[in-house]
Amino acid sequence: MSPAAGCTACDSCLRRGYLVGHLAGHIAGLLDRPHGRVTGLLALPDEKLVEAVAGEHTDDARAFLEDFDAAQARTSVERSGVVAVCRHDPGYPAQLENLADAPRVLFVKGQGDLASMSGPDPGVAVVGARRASAYGLEVARELGRGLGVAGVTVVSGLALGIDAQAHRGCLEGAGTPVAVLACGPDIPYPRTNRRLYERICERGLVITELPPGQRAFRWSFPARNRIMAGLARMTVVVEAAEPSGSLITSDFATQLGRPVGAVPGQVTSSRAAGSNALLKDGATFITSAEEVLDELFGSHRPRSRSGPGQEQVGSLPAADPVQALLLEAVEAGLGVDGACAHSGLPIHEVRAGLSRLEASGHVNRDALGIYRRAAAR
């Protein structure tokens, strides 16, 4: 569903979306603390929500509801190049209905297909620390790339650190990135990720429950995390402190009965304390995109979307001389630097190639991140 589809949301749901935006500052007044959650609030009917958060501004909020002009709001949405889809629309992602406080309307920007989020191809949320280590950033990018190559939608929050790297990796793997924002869909947040935001709009989707022009509040970050968990069939945490927004996302996924995975981090690193605790509590041990695919599909792997430079997952790499060279390097135990020397390729191309081999099941990585030739299938 592209912006050309316009605003399909019904009047009631569209009004609700703008009401949440109108009350955003009042909600912030109630939840002005780190990781403050809106649990229960966003499930309330319009009038109850106004009573719960507006305080001395209740009359003003009621007047907003009475005076709301749906036609004017639709015009504003469409001028922003945004689509508004409500829960009554067949394009609304069905898996979000499992949330007790599912957004009544989603504001969407981009060229991806929102309806495909409800299709057989799953989405995976990849989340983690903003101040991530070089190790965490590399793992997040390779996860995003491998999942993208396999045709799996990568959902994240466009935040600095792990989120942004997962999006970049997905784009490198010619996949479909979905960024869930804590502000309006027309606002690149953070501003330093503007170019990445633009690339996601060109290839994927930006999704939020807040209307165009709405700035972010502290409470709206954990609120958007429930949408990420709701859209994804699995959530993978790469480096998370305790507490952290990433753990909120994994909490939502657990409440929805969906699998949670975590990438092991240094036991002495505070930035990995949360993700390591998830592993201790039974989260799936994740070191590669292949292991995510195994968790999602078992032996029934999806095939990657065909396109220039993309091999089918599971196909033999021999027809691709670069892939064959990289496979030789792995079999010789050369490592990433050795594979660069063996193939004559720059390191980013070697990592991309190794990720494709990993996603196609030809190589594995052990707990130390060393590539090994997979057993013949």
**0.85 surpassed by pTM:** no
The whole-number average pLDDT for the span 251-260 is 94
Rounded distance between C-alpha atoms, residue 112 and residue 367, angstroms: 35
Residue 177 pLDDT level (bands cut at 50, 70, 90): very high
What is the Rg, in whole angstroms, of the alpha carbon atoms belonging to the chain?
A: 21
Dihedral angle sign, alpha carbons of residues 243, 247, 252, 256: negative
The pLDDT of residue 331 is 84
**Is pLDDT at 216 greater than 80 in this prediction?**
yes
DSSP per position, 188-203:
-SSGGGHHHHHHHHHH
Residue 367 pLDDT level (bands cut at 50, 70, 90): low
Rounded distance between C-alpha atoms, residue 159 and residue 244, angstroms: 13
**Contact in structure between 334 and 371 (CB atoms under 8 Å):** no
Rounded distance between C-alpha atoms, residue 145 and residue 143, angstroms: 5
Task: Map out the domains of the chain with their CATH numbers.
Answer: 3-292 (3.40.50.450), 311-373 (1.10.10.10)
**Is pLDDT at 60 greater than 70 in this prediction?**
yes
**Is pLDDT at 315 greater than 50 in this prediction?**
no
The pLDDT of residue 202 is 94
DSSP per position, 285-321:
E-SSHHHHHHHHHTT-PPPPPPBTTBPPTT--GGGSH
Percent of the residues in the chain that have a pLDDT greater than 70, as a whole number: 88
**Contact in structure between 132 and 265 (CB atoms under 8 Å):** no
